[in-house]
Structure 1
Amino acid sequence: MSTNTSAATSGITSDSSVTILLGRILLSVIFLLSGFGKLTAIAGTAGYFSSLGLPLPTVTAIVVGLIELLGGLAILVGFQTRIVSWVLAIFTVATALVAHTGWADQMQMINFLKNLGITGGFLVLASTGAGKFSIDAKRG
């Protein structure tokens, strides 16, 4: 008789599609809210982007807001999940490097690390796919 006590064999199991759905919901919330916020306050967002030295701050604000809002929506419903997860993973690392490198400020360090954690979630999602509760599975 085997004494293997790994989670896979110990009776502690879950429906991975439910877990993936929960992960997709949690990952999407920050992007949906942030994208909506940026798109409904373009002037403020553009001002912040200008202070970071980003080019064409108004255009950049619109593009970033759309990436966040549409990417968050795609992750939420599970549409083109693997591709969108890669896009958002790269976007999130870029955001960390552009906006959160003032590590002398503890909040900037926390935001940088938060972005790395979110990126990890997207990389896992890019690897696993959206699960059965998704548009991807219905199209599949």
Structure 2
Amino acid sequence: MPDIIEKILDSYWFDILARVLLTLVFWTSGLAKLFDFTANAGIMDDFGLQPGWAYNLVTLILQIGASLMIICNKGVWLATGALAVFTVLTIPVAHPFWAKEGEEAFRDMTVALEHASVIGGLAVFALYSRYRARNCW
């Protein structure tokens, strides 16, 4: 591996950037739920999650809180696990592709597969964080 790549990969700032990018989808969604609370509570109601305000509140706290834990390297195993479980649970609630047909089914299946990839990324990051802590990079 070229020295410049090793230096980048070993850099503290690259580590932070990776954490921010891994959690980007979660903390931006959490902030959207915070800044437009009423509209997002209505979306929760539309998915049958009632009361919508309570589900919106819990979701935004999870998304922002777990993201901050990962970015700050505190309780990464707990935060990645919580976001992974949350992401799995969104599939039957918001993307039940098996119950749809045509283009709508295809779109939801694509989102479900993307969710699976995000879960894989969270799992790899939990492994990385544990390995890095054990080996004191």
Could you say which TM-score interval applies, normalised by the shorter chain? 0.7 to 0.9
1:79 counterpart SS class: coil
Task: Report the Cα distance in structure 2 between the residues aligned to 1:131 and 1:40, rounded to whole angstroms.
Answer: 37
Relative to its length, the structure with more helix (as a share) is 2
CA shift, 1:96, in A, is: 2.0
Task: Report the Cα distance in structure 2 between the residues aligned to 1:17 and 1:95, rounded to whole angstroms.
Answer: 34
- Are 2:105 and 1:110 equivalent residues in the alignment? no
Task: Give the partner amino acid of 1:82.
Answer: W
Cα shift readout 1:19-66 (whole Å, capped 9, x = no counterpart): 654432211111111000001111111111111111211100010011
Task: Give the partner amino acid of 1:38.
Answer: K
Give the total of aligned pairs: 124
Q: TM-score, normalised by structure 2?
A: 0.76
- Aligned pairs for 1:50-69 (under 5 A) are 50-69=45-64
Identity in percent: 25
Task: Give the partner amino acid of 2:74.
Answer: F
Task: Report the Cα distance in structure 2 between the residues aligned to 1:127 and 1:82, rounded to whole angstroms.
Answer: 8
CA shift, 1:97, in A, is: 2.4
Cα shift readout 1:44-91 (whole Å, capped 9, x = no counterpart): 111111111112111000100111111112112222111111111111
Supply the RMSD in Å over aligned alpha carbons: 2.6
- Are 2:96 and 1:93 equivalent residues in the alignment? no
CA shift, 1:130, in A, is: 6.6
Task: Give the partner amino acid of 1:107.
Answer: R
Are the equivalent residues in 2 in contact too, given 1:75–1:81 (CA < 8 A)?
yes
CA shift, 1:115, in A, is: 1.0
Unmatched runs of 5 consecutive residues or more in structure 2? none
Q: TM-score, normalised by structure 1?
A: 0.75
Q: Structure with the greater relative contact order (CA < 8 A, sep ≥ 6): 1 or 2? A: 1
